[in-house]
């Protein structure tokens, strides 16, 4: 271990201790402080914050996430920043309700229970945690699954289940990519029931804000339905009275999965097909066009978006154009679909 420094976050007034060897984000996780984050690898800018005082050293990051001129102005990426003095950091993106609700991530061993086809290119992976301590997570969170045979390589996937309904179980929906490091192993049967896998987590802030009374609007596509399913299942378990509408886009009918369960969950379910809709009685078109067509006033919703990056970007643009404040739009585009 190296030297330890005190890092103070403004305007929330929280202080943590950070070793020079660790990033500010990891030190915060360790101490139960859930700062905003996404990729945790300097790619997405979700953790971007302003350095009011002090010196940091940054691990390798993308200049798309932090352009040089911003770095020169004092912006930094907390997932890449190691402190070299005490720091004062201004959080730009934070949520008081989430900040203190963090379960410190840890690495656990799991056993593969099942690998099943949901569609031609989406697999359901079911893991059981083998650990004496409960492995808790919030609906909407994700874990990093370590890629067998590749030390230090991991892939992030959101859980589709809830911890409360099946403690110790982790259920994922994983899109197969040609040559995908992890999904390739699933596709060719190299990961099978009985195998051991390590996971680290939980991570993620794609979680319900319990104190919000606003209507819920979910927009999901493909394997991006995993965390949305977790959130919807939790609404059902808690018998939530919050009004919810969930849009689910796919190319063809064969690409939709869990339709019966989704239709039975509370709220209004709108599946839509963007390509082959022969014999389909439901909505057609890109899911964002369907939302635009069916929703008039959505300025007062909490919106949750997860799916392929182009869908997520189109959905965010639509929501903003329809007057949904940025702070009420939650999205995941780095997990399940974008990282392979
Ligand atoms: S850049 Fe830090 S979490 Fe993505």
Please state the φ and ψ torsions of residue 232, each to the nearest 5 degrees: -65, -40
Instruction: Report the nearest atom of ligand 1 relative to the CA of 61.
Output: 1
Q: Which of 47, 63, 93, 335 to mutate to test the pocket of ligand 1 (most atoms within 8 A of CB)?
A: 47
pTM of the predicted model, to two decimals? 0.91
- Compute the distance from residue 144 Cα to the ligand 1 centre, in Å: 14
Q: pLDDT category, 327, cuts 50, 70, 90?
A: confident
Q: pLDDT category, 334, cuts 50, 70, 90?
A: low
Number of residues that this document lists for the chain: 340
Domains and CATH numbers, the chain: 4-90 (3.10.20.30), 106-203 (2.40.30.10), 215-333 (3.40.50.80)
- Per-residue pLDDT tens digits for 61-102: 999 999 999 999 999 999 999 999 999 999 998 888 888 877
**Predicted local confidence at residue 339, as pLDDT:** 42
Q: Which of 45, 89, 142 to mutate to test the pocket of ligand 1 (most atoms within 8 A of CB)?
A: 45
Could you tell me the maximum CA-CA distance found in the chain, to the nearest angstrom? 66
Q: What beta strand segments (E) does the chain contain?
A: 4-10, 14-19, 48-53, 56-58, 75-77, 81-83, 87-90, 106-119, 122-129, 142-146, 154-158, 169-175, 196-203, 215-221, 244-250, 268-273, 283-284, 301-306, 329-332
SS3 state of residue 23: coil
Cβ pair 252, 273 in contact under 8 A: yes
Residue with the two structure tokens 């009985």: 194
- Compute the distance from residue 46 Cα to the ligand 1 centre, in Å: 5
- Compute the distance from residue 311 Cα to the ligand 1 centre, in Å: 20
Q: pLDDT category, 336, cuts 50, 70, 90?
A: very low
Task: Please state the rounded mean pLDDT for residues 127-145.
Answer: 95
120 vs 190: CA distance, rounded Å: 17
Residue 337 pLDDT exceeds 70:
no
Average pLDDT of every residue of the chain? 92
Helix (H) or strand (E) holding 230: helix 225-237
Neighbouring C-beta atoms of residue 200, cutoff 10 Å: 15
- Of the candidates 209, 215, 221, which has an alpha carbon nearest to the alpha carbon of residue 315? 221
**Predicted local confidence at residue 332, as pLDDT:** 83
**Beta pairing partners, 108:** 199
**Beta pairing partners, 270:** 247
- Per-residue pLDDT tens digits for 107-128: 999 999 999 999 999 999 999 9
**Beta pairing partners, 57:** 82
Highest mean pLDDT out of 127-141, 167-181, 201-215: 127-141
Identify the residues whose C-beta falls under 6 Å from ligand 1: 37-40, 42-47, 65, 77, 79
- Per-residue pLDDT tens digits for 195-222: 999 999 999 999 998 888 899 999 999 8
**Predicted local confidence at residue 272, as pLDDT:** 95
Residue 277 pLDDT exceeds 80:
no
Cβ pair 126, 170 in contact under 8 A: yes
Residue 338 pLDDT exceeds 50:
no
121 vs 177: CA distance, rounded Å: 8
- Compute the distance from residue 280 Cα to the ligand 1 centre, in Å: 40
**Beta pairing partners, 106:** 201
Instruction: Report the nearest atom of ligand 1 relative to the CA of 66.
Output: 1
**Predicted local confidence at residue 97, as pLDDT:** 83
Cβ pair 2, 21 in contact under 8 A: yes
Cβ pair 238, 260 in contact under 8 A: no
Tell whether the torsion through CA atoms of 205, 166, 240 and 248 is positive or negative: positive
């Amino acid at each position: 271990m190296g030297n330890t420094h005190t890092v103070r976050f403004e305007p929330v007034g929280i202080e943590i201790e950070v070793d020079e060897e660790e990033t500010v984000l990891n030190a915060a996780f360790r101490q139960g402080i859930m700062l905003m984050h996404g990729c945790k690898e300097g790619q997405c800018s979700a953790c971007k914050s302003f350095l009011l005082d002090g010196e940091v050293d940054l691990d390798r990051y993308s200049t798309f996430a932090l352009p040089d001129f911003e770095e020169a102005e004092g912006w930094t990426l907390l997932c890449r920043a190691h402190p070299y003095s005490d720091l004062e950091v201004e959080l730009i993106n934070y949520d008081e309700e989430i900040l203190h609700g963090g379960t410190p991530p840890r690495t656990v061993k799991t056993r593969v229970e099942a690998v099943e086809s949901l569609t031609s290119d989406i697999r359901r992976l079911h893991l059981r945690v083998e650990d004496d301590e409960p492995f808790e997570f919030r609906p909407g969170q994700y874990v990093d699954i370590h890629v067998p045979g590749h030390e230090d390589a991991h892939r992030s996937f959101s859980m589709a289940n809830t911890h409360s309904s099946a403690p110790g179980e982790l259920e994922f929906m994983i899109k197969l990519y040609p040559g995908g490091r992890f999904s390739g192993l699933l596709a060719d049967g190299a990961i099978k029931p009985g195998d051991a896998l390590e996971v680290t987590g939980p991570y993620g802030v794609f979680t319900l804000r319990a104190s919000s009374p606003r209507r819920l609007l979910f927009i999901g596509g493909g394997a991006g339905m995993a965390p949305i399913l977790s959130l919807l299942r939790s609404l059902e378990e808690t018998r939530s009275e919050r009004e919810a509408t969930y849009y689910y886009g796919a190319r063809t009918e064969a690409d939709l999965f869990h339709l019966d369960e989704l239709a039975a969950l509370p709220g209004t379910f709108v599946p839509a097909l963007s390509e082959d809709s022969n014999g389909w009685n439901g909505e057609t078109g890109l899911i964002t066009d369907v939302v635009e067509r069916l929703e008039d006033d959505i300025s007062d919703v909490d919106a949750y978006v997860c799916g392929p990056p182009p869908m997520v970007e189109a959905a965010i643009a639509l929501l903003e154009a329809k007057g949904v404040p940025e702070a009420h739009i939650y999205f995941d585009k780095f997990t399940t679909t974008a990282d392979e």
